[in-house]
């Protein structure tokens, strides 16, 4: 692990997203909540929150962080389910991995919940949208780091 003992704790936040591409027939079943395991959107939300809290147990060399806020949204779209996450903490290191882990596990949970309806689902577009705080400052996908 990187030594962060000399750094001061600052407010950190990160947003990430992922997408689960699903065939129209399976999406119709999801909209009608006709799946044996229940509502995949709600279970994916809970799984993403739990995953963010356990990131240091899943990703080697990640610092365990006292997270102060976790939000996971799973939304039905025309051709799948969009996962969006936001994580915050007052810490000495960033929360990017927690936001990304939440998005990845939420997407995997959608796959698990819906695989009987569509085993050909594809998880795509897992990426960091934005991060704030820390020495390097504010980063936004497509724009890079913003000037302080």
Closest CA to 17 of 144, 104, 108: 104
pLDDT at 135: 85
* Nearest partner of 53 among 20, 90, 83, 88, judged by Cα: 88
Count structural domains, the chain. 1
Residue 11 has pLDDT above 70, yes or no: yes
CATH number of residue 72's parent domain: 3.30.70.640
**What would the mean pLDDT of 66-80 be, rounded to a whole number?**
97
Options 3, 57, 71, 112, the catalytic residue: 112
* pTM score, whole prediction: 0.95
Return d(Cα 3, Cα 121) in angstroms, integer: 40
- Is residue 1 one of the residues assigned to a domain? no
Q: Is residue 118 part of a domain?
A: yes
SS3 43: helix
Q: Tell me if 139 is assigned to some domain.
A: no
Asked whether residue 145 is assigned to any structural domain, the reply reads no
Q: What is the pLDDT of residues 90-116, one digit of tens each?
A: 999 999 999 999 999 999 999 999 999
- For the record, the structure tokens of 53 come out as 């809290």
Q: Contact at 8 Å (CB) between 83 and 48?
A: yes
Determine the average pLDDT of the residues in 116-137.
Answer: 95
On the question of pLDDT at 148 being above 80, the answer is no
User: Do 128 and 14 contact (CB within 8 A), yes or no?
Assistant: yes
- Name residues whose C-beta falls within 8 Å of residue 60's C-beta, 6 or more positions apart in sequence: none
Q: With contact defined as beta carbons under 8 Å apart, do 73 and 60 qualify?
A: no
* Domain that includes residue 96, residue range: 10-134
Q: Is 3 noted as a catalytic residue in this protein? A: no
């Amino acid at each position: 692990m990187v030594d962060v003992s000399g750094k001061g704790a600052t407010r950190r936040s990160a947003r990430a997203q992922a997408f689960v591409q699903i065939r129209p027939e399976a999406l119709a079943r999801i909209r009608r909540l006709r799946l044996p395991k229940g509502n995949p959107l709600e279970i994916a939300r809970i799984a993403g929150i739990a995953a963010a809290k356990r990131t240091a147990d899943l990703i080697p060399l990640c610092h365990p962080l006292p997270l102060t806020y976790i939000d996971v949204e799973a939304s039905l779209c025309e051709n799948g389910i969009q996962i969006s996450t936001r994580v915050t903490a007052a810490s000495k290191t960033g929360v990017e991995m927690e936001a990304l882990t939440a998005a990845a596990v939420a997407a995997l949970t959608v796959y698990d919940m819906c695989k009987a309806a569509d085993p050909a689902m594809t998880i795509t577009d897992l990426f960091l949208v934005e991060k704030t705080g820390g020495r390097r400052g504010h980063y936004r996908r497509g724009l890079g780091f913003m000037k302080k």
